[in-house]
Amino acid sequence: MFLRQLTYLIALDRCRHFSRAAESCGVSQPALSAGIRQLEAELGITIIQRNRRFYGLTPEGERVLGWARQTLAALDGLRQEAAFAQNIAGGSVSVGTMPPALLTVSALLEHFRSVVPALHADVRVYSSGEIIHHLREHTLQIGLMYLDQVPQDGLYESHFLFAEKHVFVSSSFVRVPEKENISWQEMQAVPLCLLGQNMRSRQLIDKGFRQAGVVADVRLETDALELLHAELFRGRLASILPVAALPERAEERGLQIRQIEDMSCPDVGAVRLSQGQHTALSEYLWERVQTFKFAP
């Protein structure tokens, strides 16, 4: 089966006349008729009601016509996407992310580069409030942040990426209960390294300790995930981190992870300024954001 046979069928349905359909396809009438007959032979059905003239499509032909239109439309979309990616191969995008979503950024950029291979990315780490500020100042195009921090003033578009979840994590040298879940009271007895208090993730953790009526033993605060990971692997301190911010292959590398009792978290999403001056590239990448799947 060749694509031109599907083109012949669509033209014949549109023109309702063999000669005019052939002319619109730039072929002779015998070539068009032969192409349609070959399609019928390959499918083993009668597509055209014919004698010497075109009398319409059979019921089976109507179904083939619908499939042909979908197939050629999908092919046209693929061609447009390939041409667009080739034309904007040297484009750039600026992304701001809160620290817990850093691993999400890497996966998102890989998703972008699958269609824009030479894309240049400028990635900066900010708090959610700073991300909103930089979006408003047009120094960022896309932000990754907790969706409950997006202002409800109609100036921003957002798209859900994944449901956040925090866990307790420590090396095997830290003594914790041998069970799947850990309570706030049990975490109180463990020295912790946490993200800074300006981070929404940390604010959720502080809220959990307050509601449980206990005080955390925080030995280190930082916005650098690399430093938190280093402390975890050295075994001196434990931490509470979003799943998306855990070190790669955490359990394989000797870290123990526990679910935290009674802790809820807001969803994480991508955000952009809805009323900004968006380029063709930024519009295209935003469409790609909305097809992105992330499973922390």
pLDDT digits over 132-142, tens only? 999 988 889 99
pLDDT of residue 207: 94
* Count of Cβ atoms closer than 10 Å to residue 126 Cβ: 21
Position 150 pLDDT exceeds 90: yes
Average pLDDT over residues 114-118: 84
Question: pLDDT tens-digit profile of 9-51?
Answer: 999 888 988 889 899 999 999 998 899 999 999 989 998 887 6
Entry pTM = 0.62
Give CA–CA dist 229/224, Å, rounded: 9
End-to-end alpha carbon distance in the chain = 43
In this prediction, residue 72 carries a pLDDT of 83
pLDDT at 203 over 80: yes
Per-residue DSSP letter, 17: S
Distance CA(144)–CA(236), nearest Å, equals: 31
